[in-house]
Amino acid sequence: MAGERKAGWSDQVAIVTGASRGIGRAIARELAARGAAVCVNYATQKAAAERLAAEIREAGGRAIAVAADVADAEAVARLTAQATAELGPVGILVTNAGFALLATLESYDPQAMARMRAVNVDGAIHAIRAVAPGMRERGFGRIVIIASNAAIGTALPGTTFYAATKAELLILMRRFAMELGRSGITVNAVAPGWIVTERTRAGLSEDAFAARIKEMSERTMVGRTGLPQDIANAAAFLAAPQSSFLTAQVLTVDGGRMDYIGHG
């Protein structure tokens, strides 16, 4: 099979969307540490993205930082063209860019929700559409979608509509896996639990953050909150050239969360 022939990491080129910070940055670092060349995508934080690309190059790897709003299909096509021109044909895509807008039925704002969906869902679709033709041509691809355990039924207040965007990604993941599987392309998702990043720290005082860590740790079987590296390990496993018989799966990395919504 085409996938097995490309056994090594060192001839891989990866795009990681939303890699200037948080989970995306950890994924980009992990793929680079395994030998892949990495295109570090970002939306606004140019300096942070360039710092990461420079760090990877200084460690002997290959990396570039490229701006693109993933909600903009043309910008994503340009990003893919630049990654291909400067690093080589893209074999790995991690769609990580996304954000959570908290709302209830009462505070639902259609425009704000449309933007969240455009980034979280359309952003992944644009990126997959941009890399799929090249992957098909070469008969090899690893696509990893960063969803959330909210998509499969955790119950934090305010995350309802965010959860819906992430649930949409899971069905798309399975359908894209069906469409692309015969071309040597696997499509899988990681569903992270509560991971400490800039986003989960945002707006909290030191005390409030410590209380949040305690609360979220108690909800897990392992008794701790997650680190970006926990997600990077899972993403790299799914993106590995050797993971060619593993597709259409959700890998939940949430420390064994015990607060899923029950029914029936």
Helix, strand, coil distribution of the chain in percent, nearest 5: 50, 15, 35
**In contact, 152 and 261? CB cutoff 8 Å:** no
One residue of 36, 100, 121, 180 binding ligand NAP per CB under 6 A: 100
69 binds ligand NAP (CB under 6 A): yes
- Residue 9's nearest CA partner among 92, 125, 99 is 92
**Cα–Cα separations (whole angstroms), residue 216 to 24, 203, 226:** 21, 17, 9
Contact (CB, 8 A) for 66 and 39:
yes
Q: Please report how close the Cβ of residue 148 comes to ligand NAP at its closest, in angstroms.
A: 4
| Least distance between ligand NAP and beta carbon 238 (Å) | 14
Smaller CB separation from ligand NAP, 69 or 168 = 69
255 lies in the site for ligand NAP, by CB under 6 A: no
Binding flag, residue 34, ligand NAP (CB under 6 A): no
Residue 22 as a binder of ligand NAP (CB under 6 A): the answer is: yes
Classify 91 in phi/psi space as left (phi over 0), alpha (psi -120 to 50) or beta.
alpha
Crossing angle (nearest 10°) for helices 160-180 and 110-117: 30
Question: Is residue 97 near ligand NAP by the rule CB under 6 A?
Answer: yes
Residue 33 or residue 48: which is nearer to ligand NAP going by CB? 48
Catalytic-residue membership of 42: no
Of all residues in the shown chain, the one whose CB is closest to ligand NAP is 22
Contact status: 252 vs ligand NAP (CB under 6 A): no
Decide if residue 198 touches ligand NAP (CB under 6 A). yes
Torsion-angle region of 248 (φ positive above 0: left; ψ -120 to 50: alpha; else: beta)? left
Q: Give the other-Cβ count within 10 Å of 5's Cβ.
A: 10
Give the one residue of 70, 79, 121, 189 binding ligand NAP; rule: CB under 6 A. 70
Examine residue 205 and tell whether it contacts ligand NAP (CB under 6 A). Answer: no
Is 223 buried (19+), middle (13-18) or exposed (0-12) by CB count in 10 A?
exposed
Among residues 42, 108, 162, 260, the one annotated as catalytic is: 162
**Chain contacts with ligand NAP (rule: CB under 6 A):** 17-24, 41-45, 69-71, 96-100, 119, 146, 148, 192, 194-195, 197-200
| Active-site residue set | 162
